[in-house]
Amino acid sequence: MKICDVLQKDAILDDLKASNKKAVLQEMGAPVAAIAGVDLENLVRVLMERERLGSTGIGGGIGIPHGKMKDLESLVLGFGLSRKGVDFESLDGRPTHIFFMLVTPENSTGLHLKLLARISRILKNDPFKHRLMKASDRDEIFNIIQEEDEDF
């Protein structure tokens, strides 16, 4: 499964305004909840519960908040870019700039893990991360992700 098979342009935020973890989840969660047809408050609660197990801020400026929801039909992916960076309680203690938010149906563990692994793999590519940071709008972000996604 490719990232762009799941990522919709409406779920790409090219300039996050949030300044803390919960605000990032709310801001990114709004379009994701709308696409998924789920309640935003419930979505944020699920993601915050997952964060309590350990931060999904994996370091290197990257956060991959994710969770599973009962009422979900299919997996939904969102992307957010914070130009100034957010304290996301990352493993390396540095600000987080690039976010992928993944929400999957409760019973879809395999799909969930495959997409998380794919996202993690492409984010190991520093030139890719630099191109994302310089992107000016959601169309450019989508095209950069699509280009990188094709190479994997």
CA separation, residue 43 to residues 36, 46, 86, 126, 140 (Å) = 10, 5, 20, 30, 27
Calpha distance 41→72 (Å, rounded): 14
**If you average pLDDT over residues 10-36, what whole number do you get?**
97
pLDDT in tens, 75-95: 999 999 999 999 999 999 999
CA separation, residue 93 to residues 13, 56, 59, 86, 147 (Å) = 23, 12, 7, 11, 30
Contact 122, 3 (CB under 8 A): yes
Domain 3-146, CATH: 3.40.930.10
State the average pLDDT for the chain.
94
Q: Residue 97: is its pLDDT beyond 90?
A: yes
**Catalytic residue list:** 66
Domains of the chain: which residue ranges? 3-146
Calpha distance 6→33 (Å, rounded): 14
